[in-house]
Structure 1
Amino acid sequence: MTLWMSCTRRLPAIALVACMTLVTAAHADDANPLTRMSLEYLMNIEVTTVSKQPERVQNAAAAVYVLTREEIRRSGASTIPDALRLVPGVNVAQINANSWAVSIRGFNSRFANKLLVMIDGRSIYSPLFSGVFWDRHSVPIEEIDRIEVVRGPGGTLWGANAVNGVINIITRHSSETQGQQAEFSVGTEKAGGLSLRQGASIGDEATYRLSAQFDGYNETKLPDGSGANDQWENGQANLRVDWTPTVDDEILIESGYSRVMAGDRHTQPSLSFPYSTLRNGDIDRYGAFVMGRWNHQVNEASDVSLQGFVDHRYMDIDTPIAEEYRTTADLQAQHGIKLGAKTNLTWGAGYRAIFSDIQTGDFSLDAAPESENIFVYNVFAQASRRFFDDQVELTLGSKLEHHSVSGTEIQPSARALWNVTSRHAVWTAVSTAARTPSTVENTGTVRNIVVPPGTLTNPSPLPLVPSIEGDKSLDAERVTAYEAGYHGQISETVSLDVAGFINSYTDLLLDSDVGVSSINTNYGTPFIELPISINNKAEATTYGFEFSGLWQARDNWRLRAGYAWLHEDIKAPAGAEGNAPEHQLTLQSFYDIDENWRFDTVFRFVDNLENAGADAYLNMDARLSWSPNDSIEVALTGRNLLDSGYLEYGNERADTPLPTASEVDRSVLLTMTMKF
């Protein structure tokens, strides 16, 4: 870590030398000014996450939002969570420098367990706590083609854990990133970054992209002004190869390695005085994956695809002391066929094996057994048919999935879309989805609180420790969602997208049963253990709507607006509600000053999080960029300009070891990108 920080202090000089060397660079591979991204182009972007087949956003019977690479880059976002702030209905709250809470339609937490996240269709969902370690998956912004966000259940196609939404981060075809690129950045929050990319052809049929990225982030502050010990650095290398051996075949091969080293600070329970301490520690995470996909066009009416990946992850943390080794092997097959002129059928099957080994070193977190193998099998089918001169499309489908621990789940859905005109469409859907319990919920024991002896709560002479215990007999959580929406282009310059929903949840793992206390002597110091068993007794209803609008005010000025309203009614113990904001508002402006200068801003309002201990806030980001030619861009980004030193997500959950929340600061970042 010392070596990296030393390097970042020299980064401005490195960037200056590189600029002098490359200033005569030749061509650009992806110039995409605002004036070339027409409203019609944005309305006709194809998405694949909704139906596993390419379709226009206008024809998708779902609340789908596409975040383009240009919008992400011009927002100034340097991480995936920051980019997702732009999507209506997605709640992003930064916990500290290296941790985020990200969810869709409620139930937000550090490990939001009702959201499936993928990169190029490869799941990055972690079964340990049921969530995503966002710092492990820092995709370079320039390599992202788009981010498809589907709000609402996606279990029929994507399986368990796609309960409230699906996020698919789709990277660019390697043929679009030919040549070399270097990007340097230095700032206050992000201490420094270096990204290098090389792309070239392999004969006439294949192209490749090889990239490496190194980022370092500074420590933030706790509300009392002390350091949060949350500084972190990320290094990664990625390879993508796209091969077209015949006109009917496409082969994709991806592989990558990443490593994250970070500081950490937790409230650590203890069996001796003072029974709770704020403790600094370190986190070391690394991972590697290889993925392959083969798409074959059998004929005009039939296509098949086969995708598989192997992913290995390791995590070592000091607070609590724990190590996790996990290897995931996944294979999915799919067949799409046209049955006549009006009917399409997509069906397939999949298999996933997860091999995990968890080793713990203190009483605050246990896992028994330490080693476990999990197997998941699935089959799915979805058929759509058009009626009434192709204006109405009805889609029915279901997935049957068997999990070796939680059992079998059936996840059906029905969707209908009416293209009122070529510019206006309304849709409705009824669907179900399931969320399988995490490893900790199945086999773990979490002890985050120690009640001192000789107190009113615990008059005994021994410490009292509530132990939240997992159970392998837990059922999967389930949701039934009712949705309706509208996609439309109001005029040549204005488009609107509106979606409303009612979600009914059953078998939620938010309640518990208190058992009979006993004396535990397994950790040197005897203590009274009070077992608290998780159960499936909680229920909830949520409802709300999301709105997004796009206005091409002028040829050189575009405005995007997004608003989301959410109401949660959770029938569970106090503290289950209030982790997601009731109101969110975003306004994004893209302005081309001239051919070389651009000025972009993002305003955000996020309502208070009553249970998560965060007040409502209004903030603004701004980015000014200069491109003297197609090969060089210099950008200055300011984030959180209206406020500094506020919490976006405050307290800790009792059932999951979480880092101490720190304040989000005002920051500045200078970035230089060069292509040659």
Structure 2
Amino acid sequence: MFFGPSSPRPLLLLTALLGGPAAADDLFVDSQALPEVLTATRLKQSPAAVPGSMTVLDSELIRASGARDIPELLRLVPGMMVGYIAGNQPTVNYHGSNVNDARRMQVLIDGRSVYRAGLATVDWSDIPLAMEDIERIEVFRGPNTVSYGANALMAVVNILTRNPADSHGTRLKVTRGQRGINDWYASQGMGWDGGDLRLSLSGMQDDGFDETHKGLDYRDSRRLTRFSLSASHALAPDQSLDWQLSAKEGANQRPYTYKPVFYGVTAEGDNSDVAAKDYAGSVRWNIDFNPQHSLYVQGSAQHWDRQQVWRACDAALSFSPQLTQLWQLNPWYAEQLARNIRAPVPTGTAQEQALAGEVQAQWNVGGYQQVCGDIDQSTRETRYDLEIQDTLSLTDNLRLLSGVNYRYDRADSQTYFNGSLDDTTWRLFGQLEWRADEHWLIQGGAMYEDAHLSGSSLTPRVAVNYLITPRHGLRAVYSEAVRSPDMFENNVNWSYRVNNLSPTAFGQGSAEYFVKTRGPGNLDQERMRSRELGYNGFFADADLTLDLKLFHDEITGMVSEPLRNNQYIASNSNQARFTGSEVQADWRMTHADRLRMTYAYVDAWASNADDRRLSARNSGSAGWMRDWGMGWSSALFYYGADALNGYRFERADLRVAKRISLQRASLELAGMLQQRLDHEPTSSYDNLYDSRHVLYFSAELEF
């Protein structure tokens, strides 16, 4: 609404916000209950009292978006940069980072981390959770090592599933559409005296991108099937037990990208597809001693299994012991020799030149012969996690949260670690909230973490919130955060053993490829210092929620080198800086209309150009959801980013749905159209579609 120069309302609003408590109370107070979020500090808080910026994607918004997976849904979060390595390899970063490696954001499912410590990644396509089982997603937009430990460097995404008590009955859904879209979901919920349970089965399938920039078919389809079992038991009036089991199996295509080192050799492989299996289980015991004191104990176990075996061909000389020794002496010299094997021996030390002469002699007596074999690039990771958290209200104005966490991680890969590697982590954390008076809220927290492989760290956060009213707050936040180098970056022992060589190489049917990479073993943690000013408020009369943020984040000691087996030398020599602003608005105009808008301006600088590639200076979203009555509803969304890895992204999504009431059942029919408004690839020059639009339909039955 526009206010003219003579309107007194801006003056009234300004007076209320800048120091007129009585006026503020008159303007903003309402009788509605305060909403609460949990992810920011682990304490239940109103959005205005949070020491940072929060985005909540509720169930209505999730359904209206029509998103088939979590990365597409996160486009609704201001400052979240969504890119794709391939159709089944989405990457999500907050404010940006390396386009190929989303290493700096913690992702949780009901408080259980799905961030893989072995390879510093989140397998977004393989998360064993159906969209239909999600109740809401809380995103803390900023560093939160204080609450969730190392790796919560830039943001935390906490995916909260539906309570089994709210999932009674049967629910069936199928989705079909272009680009090979073929999804299904089935769930059954039931309850008994003192308990509730939900069982769900689901599947997802699509073809990914259509072609590469050379017009070739792109191998990036995905297929997966998921199982989930969730239950809640009331053990006593003050105690409950919640547990979950989940599993996922599927296959992700991978394009064949191996290029022989020696010229004149042809590649015979056709794919390096990945068979993926995930298993997870968790149990949580909740105790409410009294309204002022509660405690929980949570344990979880997870296992990730990625089977990847592919065939490669190269010259027999690739398995020369002398060439291997030369690589260990000087990788650059060995690579120059291998790629120019017919040229004179490169200038080097006496030892290097002597070995080079032997290698060339081997080439001349048959080392040029092509040999092919199988490469096993499989990985397995296992995690066990135990956490105890205590929440205590010391007085009416003082709350203390404290806890301890133990985690064991194991990574197993013959290729990456020459066997297995273990790590153990201990954490102590605390959060103190003091309401100095009805307006001032002082918050402080810290996390002490000690990991066997990466050492110890202490990260603090201090925040001051001025609550104009319980629903309107200004905030100033300073926080520090760290990211521990993962096992791959710091401790990689990367070498390929090629099996079933045909013909044999140097008389061997199984041999080691000459290229070998070792991690430094002494990397330090990345460290972030963050400063934020912001405002969060809810205008009851207009039913409008508004969040504003100004930020300045600095990261030092960054590990930015690409993870590849070719002269890979990780270091802490890089740094980055992100400065900008964000706005988020959610307005229920009428009982039938809801408008939502986000915008982020990010001025990114990084010493390594790769860390700027997924940072759009301007990005955002806009959405209009409407209930037309008679069971009809629609949602229209726009997503835009001016440069993701150098490519513009603009898309409009339209979802139209009709809900039909049946006898003791409900049927919803929906159609979804996604229309690209640009002519660019999707964050990588090989990510191309034949058509700028995709159409898919769904039918969902509940009874």
TM bucket by the smaller chain?
0.7 to 0.9
For 2:142, the aligned partner's letter is G
Equivalent position of 1:427 in the other structure: 475
Offset from partner CA, 1:357-384 (integer Å, 9 cap, x none): 1122xxxxxx244211110011111111
Provide the rounded CA distance (Å) in 2 between the counterparts of 1:564 and 1:141: 26
- The more displaced of 634-643 and 243-252 is 634-643
Aligned with 2:305 (options 306, 314, 319): 314
* Structure 1 residues 665 and 397, CA gap change in structure 2 (3 angstroms): same
| Equivalent residues of 1:398, 1:413 under 8 A apart | yes
Written as runs of structure 1 = structure 2, the 5 A alignment for 1:590-609 is 590-609=625-644
Q: Where in structure 2 are the equivalents of 1:537-576 lying within 5 Å?
A: 537-572=573-608, 574-576=609-611
Does structure 1 retain, via aligned residues, the 8 Å contact 2:34–2:471?
Answer: no
Q: Any idea what the Cα deviations from partners look like across 1:454-473, whole Å, max 9, x if unmatched? A: xxxxxxxxxx9997642211
Q: Distance in 2 between matches of 1:372 and 1:530?
A: 22
Is 1:285 paired with 2:321?
no
Partner of 2:199: 210
Query: Matched residues in 1 for 2:656 and 2:266: separation?
Result: 47
Q: CA deviation at 1:112?
A: 0.8
SS state at 2:258 partner? strand
User: CA offsets, 1:16-62, max 9 Å, x none?
Assistant: xxxxxxxxxxxxxxxxxxxxxxx999994321111112222232121
- Corresponding residue to 1:588 among 620, 623, 635: 623
Alignment pair present for 1:649 and 2:683: yes
Equivalent position of 2:218 in the other structure: 228
CA distance in 2, matches of 1:635, 1:96: 28
State the alpha-carbon separation in 2 of the partners of residues 607 and 555 from structure 1: 34
Q: Structure 2, unaligned stretches of length 5 or more?
A: 1-28, 311-374, 497-512
Asked whether 1:495 is paired with 2:527, we answer: no
Change (3 A) 1:195 1:41: farther
**Helix, strand or coil at the partner of 2:61:** helix
CA distance in 2, matches of 1:171, 1:582: 33
- Could you tell me which amino acid in structure 2 is paired with residue 73 of structure 1? R
Equivalent residue for 1:29? none
* Aligned amino acid, residue 328 of structure 1: R
The counterpart of 2:695, out of the listed 665, 668, 671, is 668
**Aligned equivalents of 1:109, 1:499: Cα separation in 2:** 25
Distance in 1 (alpha carbons) for counterparts of 2:692 and 2:270: 23
Find the aligned partners of 1:359 and 1:589 in 2 and give their Cα distance: 51
User: 1:620 is matched with which residue: 643, 647, 652?
Assistant: 652
Q: Show the counterpart of 1:456.
A: none
Alpha-carbon spacing, 1:416–1:607, altered in 2? closer, same or farther (3 Å): same
- Identify the residue that residue 521 of structure 1 maps to in structure 2: none
Asked if structure 2 preserves the Cα contact closer than 8 Å seen for 1:428 and 1:484, the reply is yes
SS of alignment partner, residue 218 of structure 2:
coil
1:508 paired to 2:551? no
1:312-341: per-residue Cα shift (whole Å, max 9, x none)? 110012467411111110001001111112
Q: Call closer, same or farther: CA 1:323–1:596 in 2, change over 3 Å.
A: same
CA contact under 8 A between 1:551 and 1:558: conserved in structure 2? yes
Whether contact under 8 Å (2:99, 2:611) holds in the other structure is no
| Partner Cα separation in structure 2 for residue 147 and residue 108 of structure 1 | 24
Residue 152 of structure 1 aligns with which residue?
142
Distance 1:661 1:474, change over 3 A: farther
Report the Cα distance in structure 2 between the residues aligned to 1:237 and 1:511, rounded to whole angstroms. Answer: 37
> Which aligned pairs between 1:81-480 and structure 2 lie closer than 5 A?
81-137=71-127, 139-201=129-191, 203-221=192-210, 222-273=212-263, 280-318=271-309, 321-360=376-415, 367-388=416-437, 390-444=438-492, 469-480=518-529
- Taking structure 1 as the reference length, the TM-score comes to 0.82
Residues 530 and 675 from structure 1, CA distance in 2 versus in 1: closer, same or farther, beyond 3 angstroms?
closer
Q: Whole-Å Cα distance in 1 between the matches of residues 402 and 155 of structure 2?
A: 21
- CA–CA distance in structure 1, aligned partners of residues 172 and 531 of structure 2: 47
**Cα offsets for 1:425-466 (capped at 9, x unmatched):** 111111111111122211226799xxxxxxxxxxxxxxx999
1:223 alignment partner AA: H
TM-aligned CA distance change 1:95 to 1:282, over 3 Å: same
Range moving further from structure 2, 476-485 or 502-511: 502-511
Within 1, Cα distance between the matches of 2:676 and 2:520?
Answer: 46
1:397 is displaced (CA, Å) by 1.1
Unmatched segments (≥5 aa) in structure 1:
1-38, 361-366, 449-463, 513-528, 652-659
> In structure 2, the residue corresponding to 1:53 is in which secondary structure?
coil
SS in 1 for 2:611: coil
CA radius of gyration, larger in: 2
CA distance in 1: counterparts of 2:424 and 2:140, whole angstroms = 26
SS in structure 1 at match of 2:643 = coil
Deviation at 1:561, TM superposition (A): 0.5
SS of 2:41 mapped into structure 1 = coil
For residues 381 and 205 of structure 2, what CA distance do their matches in structure 1 show?
26
C-alpha contact (below 8 Å) 1:102/1:108 kept by paired residues? no
Letter in 2 for 1:260: G
Matched pairs, number: 586
Amino acid in structure 1 at the alignment position of 2:408? A
In structure 2, the CA distance between the partners of 1:419 and 1:76, relative to structure 1 (3 Å rule), is same
**Cα displacement string for residues 626-660 of structure 1 (whole angstroms, at most 9, x for unaligned residues):** 001261100000113535x7422216xxxxxxxx6
2:271 alignment partner, SS class = strand
In structure 2, what is the Cα distance between the partners aligned to 1:194 and 1:350?
37
Question: Counterpart of 1:285 in 2: which secondary structure?
Answer: strand
Identity %: 24
| Cα deviation, residue 662, structure 1 | 4.5
Between 215-224 and 57-66, report the one with greater CA deviation: 215-224
In 1: Cα distance, 2:180 partner to 2:626 partner: 25
> What is the distance in 1 between the residues matched to 2:33 and 2:515?
53
Select the residue among 43, 58, 62 that pairs with 1:68.
Answer: 58
CA distance in 2, matches of 1:556, 1:164: 36
Q: Report the secondary structure of 1:264's partner residue.
A: coil
Report what 1:21 is aligned to: none
The DSSP-based 3-state class of the residue aligned with 1:84 is helix
Superposition deviation, residue 666 in structure 1: 2.1
Query: Is contact 2:282-2:300 (8 Å) kept?
Result: yes
Equivalent pair of 1:238/1:257 in contact (CA under 8 Å): yes
Structure 2 distance, partners of 1:401, 1:159, is 7
Letter in 2 for 1:403: A
SS in structure 1 of the partner of residue 60 of structure 2: helix
Give the 3 Å change call, closer, same or farther, for CA 565–96 of structure 1 in structure 2: same
Distance of 2:491 and 2:553 partners within structure 1: 29
The structure in which a higher percent of residues are helix is 2
Choose 76-85 or 181-190, whichever is displaced more.
181-190
- Between 1:666-675 and 1:87-96, the stretch displaced more is 87-96
Distance 1:564 1:466 in 2: 43
SS of 1:437's equivalent?
coil
Q: Distance in 2 between the 1:254 and 1:560 partners?
A: 33
SS where residue 616 of structure 2 aligns? coil
Amino acid at match of 2:549: A
